[in-house]
């Protein structure tokens, strides 16, 4: 009797900026079939859009090139296939750069790139609005028209179907733009097991597997509060792998001889991360019910996941719109014992008085005392009068770049003309940042038609 077939999907990046070592370690530490790399957070698309405006060959997650380079032998010699949403707002440029890289390494013949297109709604935005798609803000109900002239990017979250198509057509590197994070794990499973579009429970299992590993090591010991002191060797933390069976049950694990820990607790912490209504985890592929998930310890660093139920997806896709929303800057200074908090409070008063006198206009001014309740507020209780130091952190946001710029010049003077025992200003003047805000919306699925281009 043969053992049931298992497909191994490894997670190698949980966001753009994650550990550069992880992809290579995932393909060299033990057997894996697929490597999924998640690069896109809510605001990443707008950053990439700005890069593309400056240079039409950019607009994708450039870290991806280093990742591909580090795993190229596994792709060409051992058949590991890579699925990544690294394409950002320019998947074709990303594909061209990967092709160039493979050519430089004499490996081009072994690389078949599938590019998923169709998520980018920016070129169609006015036509969509004119055709009666309001793209209203999901949180406020406001129609997109109110910020239309400030829109930088607009992308629909695509599900797993176009990635499955790319894999079926033989791609061993699939590059997408704004796919859902979970689709990157789901697609290899659908491709391997042929799960039908109405096999809701298995599709939901694929979504849960994707959710567990989409944040990289955050399910395998990283950022894990449970028993954190005794989680071994985070310096060599193992990134997660799901070993999935055709029936949709799976085991979360990591390679042997790596640090971190996979336990029911580490997995459960990740399951509740960024959770909304657990009964309805909505994706373009299926709605997964997180209240049906069963976890069971299955040996060292192994957690079995089963019991997951799903139901049909909605008729909509989520759209992420990024728009320009003014400017902001944050300045900091450090005040030392004695009376560190009192001095920082006094400096805050002086600074605010000066900002008022200058007649600067801001939508928001926020002061925090880091070390004295910045993250827990009043819940932390009154700060000890004996604190060795506290950081004054003051931020402003507004529509006038000039006013925000002026604010950044009011921090340093406090060192010589404000309250005493102040330090920590070596970083110089704070930078003015353009604020690119996020506008979540829904759109009728039928008007978004993803396509796949093989290169």
Partner 1 sequence: MRVRLLDIAHARSGDKGDTANVGILALRPEWYEVLDQYVTRDRVAAHFTGLITGDVIRFALPNLGALNFLLHGALDGGGTLSLKTDAQGKVVSTALLRMVIDVPDDVATRLRLPAAPAAAPSGPRQSVR
- Unique residue bearing structure tokens 């009154």: 382
Residue 296, interface with partner 1 (CB under 8 A)? no
Residue 432, interface with partner 1 (CB under 8 A)? no
Q: Which is nearer to partner 1, 103 or 291 (CB)?
A: 291
Residue 366, interface with partner 1 (CB under 8 A)? yes
Q: Which of residues 71-110 bind partner 1 (CB under 8 A)?
A: none
Q: Which of 130, 378, 416, 426 touches partner 1 (CB under 8 A)? A: 378
Q: Which of residues 125-144 bind partner 1 (CB under 8 A)?
A: 139
**Nearest-angstrom CA–CA distance, 219 and 272:** 11
Residue 229, interface with partner 1 (CB under 8 A)? no
Instruction: Return the closest-CA partner of residue 164 out of 147, 154, 176.
Output: 176
Number of neighbouring beta carbons within 10 Å of residue 20:
13
- In the complex, the smallest distance separating the C-beta of residue 355 from partner 1, rounded to whole angstroms, is 14
- In the complex, the smallest distance separating the C-beta of residue 78 from partner 1, rounded to whole angstroms, is 35
Q: Which of 123, 235, 299, 381 touches partner 1 (CB under 8 A)? A: 381
* Interface region with partner 1, contact rule CB under 8 A, candidates 48-56, 251-259, 393-401, 414-422: 393-401
- Strand, helix or coil for residue 404: helix
Q: Which of residues 262-291 bind partner 1 (CB under 8 A)?
A: 265, 268-279, 290-291
Q: Which is nearer to partner 1, 65 or 370 (CB)?
A: 370
Residue 19, interface with partner 1 (CB under 8 A)? no
Instruction: Return the closest-CA partner of residue 200 out of 289, 271, 268, 267.
Output: 289
- In the complex, the smallest distance separating the C-beta of residue 108 from partner 1, rounded to whole angstroms, is 39
Angle at 122 between CA 138 and CA 197, to 5 degrees: 65
Q: Which is nearer to partner 1, 307 or 383 (CB)?
A: 307
**Nearest-angstrom CA–CA distance, 221 and 266:** 6
For β-strands 34-37 and 6-13, DSSP reports them as parallel
Residue 182, interface with partner 1 (CB under 8 A)? no
Instruction: Return the closest-CA partner of residue 38 out of 59, 56, 6, 63.
Output: 63
**Nearest-angstrom CA–CA distance, 390 and 292:** 46
Residue 401, interface with partner 1 (CB under 8 A)? no
Q: Which is nearer to partner 1, 101 or 341 (CB)?
A: 341
Q: Which is nearer to partner 1, 226 or 425 (CB)?
A: 226
Residue 297, interface with partner 1 (CB under 8 A)? no
Q: Which is nearer to partner 1, 258 or 270 (CB)?
A: 270
Strand partners, 394: 331, 367
**Nearest-angstrom CA–CA distance, 154 and 453:** 21
Q: Which of residues 192-221 bind partner 1 (CB under 8 A)?
A: none
| Burial environment of residue 64 by CB neighbours within 10 A (0 to 12, 13 to 18, 19 or more) | buried
Q: Which of 136, 370, 432, 442 touches partner 1 (CB under 8 A)? A: 370
Residue 15, interface with partner 1 (CB under 8 A)? no
Number of residues that bind partner 1 (CB under 8 A): 50
Residue 426, both tokens: 């070596």
Residue 396, interface with partner 1 (CB under 8 A)? yes
CA 51 to centroid of chain Cα atoms: 18
The upper half-sphere exposure of residue 278, i.e. CA atoms within 13 Å in the direction of its Cβ, equals: 10
Helix (H) / strand (E) containing 128: helix 125-130
What is each CA distance from 376 to 137, 241, 335, 371, 372, in whole angstroms? Answer: 29, 34, 20, 10, 9
Q: Which of 364, 401, 402, 409 touches partner 1 (CB under 8 A)? A: 364
**Nearest-angstrom CA–CA distance, 70 and 73:** 8
Q: Which of 6, 122, 282, 325 touches partner 1 (CB under 8 A)? A: 325
The residue ranges that bind partner 1 (CB under 8 A) are 42-43, 139, 223, 225-226, 265, 268-279, 290-295, 307, 325, 328, 330, 364, 366, 368, 370, 374-381, 393, 395-397, 435-438, 440
């Amino acid at each position: 009797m043969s053992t049931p077939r298992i497909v191994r999907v490894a997670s190698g990046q949980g966001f753009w900026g994650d550990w550069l070592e992880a992809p290579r370690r995932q393909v060299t530490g033990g057997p894996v079939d697929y490597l999924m790399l998640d690069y896109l957070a809510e605001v990443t698309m707008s950053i990439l859009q700005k890069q593309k405006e400056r240079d039409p060959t950019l607009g994708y997650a450039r870290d991806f090139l280093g990742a591909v380079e580090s795993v190229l032998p596994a792709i060409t010699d051992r058949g590991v296939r890579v699925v990544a949403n690294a394409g950002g707002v320019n998947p074709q440029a990303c594909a061209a750069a990967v092709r160039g890289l493979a050519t430089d390494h004499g490996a081009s013949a072994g690389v078949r790139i599938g590019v998923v297109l169709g998520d980018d709604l920016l070129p169609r935005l006015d036509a969509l609005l004119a055709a009666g798609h309001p793209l209203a803000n999901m949180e406020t109900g406001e129609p997109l028209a109110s910020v239309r002239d400030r829109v930088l990017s607009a992308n629909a979250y695509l599900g797993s179907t176009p990635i499955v198509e790319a894999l079926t057509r033989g791609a061993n590197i699939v590059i997408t733009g704004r796919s859902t994070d979970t689709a990157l794990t789901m697609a290899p499973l659908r491709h391997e097991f042929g799960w039908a579009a109405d096999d809701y429970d298995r599709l939901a299992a694929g979504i849960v597997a994707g959710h567990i590993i989409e944040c990289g090591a955050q399910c395998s010991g990283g950022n894990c509060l449970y028993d954190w002191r005794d989680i071994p060797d985070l310096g060599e933390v193992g990134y997660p792998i799901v070993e999935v069976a055709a029936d949709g049950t799976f085991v979360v694990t990591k390679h042997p001889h790596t640090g971190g820990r996979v336990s029911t607790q580490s997995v459960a912490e990740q399951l509740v991360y960024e959770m909304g209504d657990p009964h309805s985890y909505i994706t373009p592929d299926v709605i997964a019910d997180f209240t049906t998930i069963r976890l069971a310890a299955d040996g060292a660093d192994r957690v079995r996941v089963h019991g997951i139920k799903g139901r049909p997806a909605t008729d909509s896709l989520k759209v992420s719109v990024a728009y320009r929303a003014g400017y902001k800057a944050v300045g900091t200074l450090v005040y030392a014992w004695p009376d560190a908090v009192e001095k920082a409070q006094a400096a805050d008063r002086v600074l605010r008085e000066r900002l008022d006198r200058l007649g600067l206009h801001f939508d928001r001014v926020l002061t925090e005392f880091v070390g004295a309740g910045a993250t827990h507020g009043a819940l932390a209780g009154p700060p000890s009068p004996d604190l060795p130091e506290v950081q004054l952190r003051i931020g402003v946001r507004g529509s006038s770049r000039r006013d925000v710029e002026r604010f950044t010049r009011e921090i340093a003077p406090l060192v010589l003309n404000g309250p005493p025992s102040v330090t920590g200003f070596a970083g110089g003047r704070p930078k003015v940042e353009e604020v690119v805000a996020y506008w979540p919306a829904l759109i009728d699925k039928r008007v978004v038609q993803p396509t796949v281009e093989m290169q």
